[in-house]
Amino acid sequence: MSNNNKSLLSITQVRPHLFLAGYGCITPSLLKQYNITHAVDCTNLKTKPIPGLDKIEVPVDDNTLAKITQYFEPVVKFVEDAKQQGHNTVIYCAAGVSRSATLTIVYLMVTENLSLEEAYLDVNKVRPIISPNIGFWRQMIDYEKSRSGNATVELISGRMARPVPSVYLRRAVC
């Protein structure tokens, strides 16, 4: 099994209190194994409640037109409140690649005062399969500009069929 397949089928610890995953990992046994009591559900699916799991929902589809910015601050607050109470949180979507990665990156930007580039590289280091969609990249770039006045990631267009975040090119060189 390739590392990417293993990542799709695993819960990734991003911080001692914060995990990133795909929906397939959200089982009572795995939540117990990682002592996870809180969850941010970005699947936009009707899912069965899990006893003992405090959950908020982010009903956003993974497409380039979906608006996710409105959930940035409520998710940060939810995760921070859980952390302050000594609880662990998992942020998950269908595969743990786009929606949940976006919210995890933003969480690090806000709580650790990281740039978008730094937060992306930090999450990518522990979960290399992350790949927010271009619409989410645009929203994260705009959010970073609104917070700091500048952007550390830009979307590069050219001969490519779609824009590519500049951080992808720097990551490939490293």
Q: Is 174 a catalytic residue?
A: no
3-133 in CATH: which number? 3.90.190.10
pLDDT at 121: 96
Residue 2 is predicted with a pLDDT of: 42
Q: What pLDDT is stored for residue 3 in this prediction?
A: 47
Low pLDDT (below 70) residues in the chain:
1-9, 160, 170-174
Closest by CA position to 98, among listed 142, 57, 137, 44: 137
Question: How is 57-73 classified by DSSP, letter by letter?
Answer: E----SSTT---GGGHH
Instruction: Specify the pLDDT at position 48.
Output: 84
Kindly list the domain boundaries of the chain, sorted by start residue. Answer: 3-133
The catalytic residue among 25, 42, 93, 174 is 93
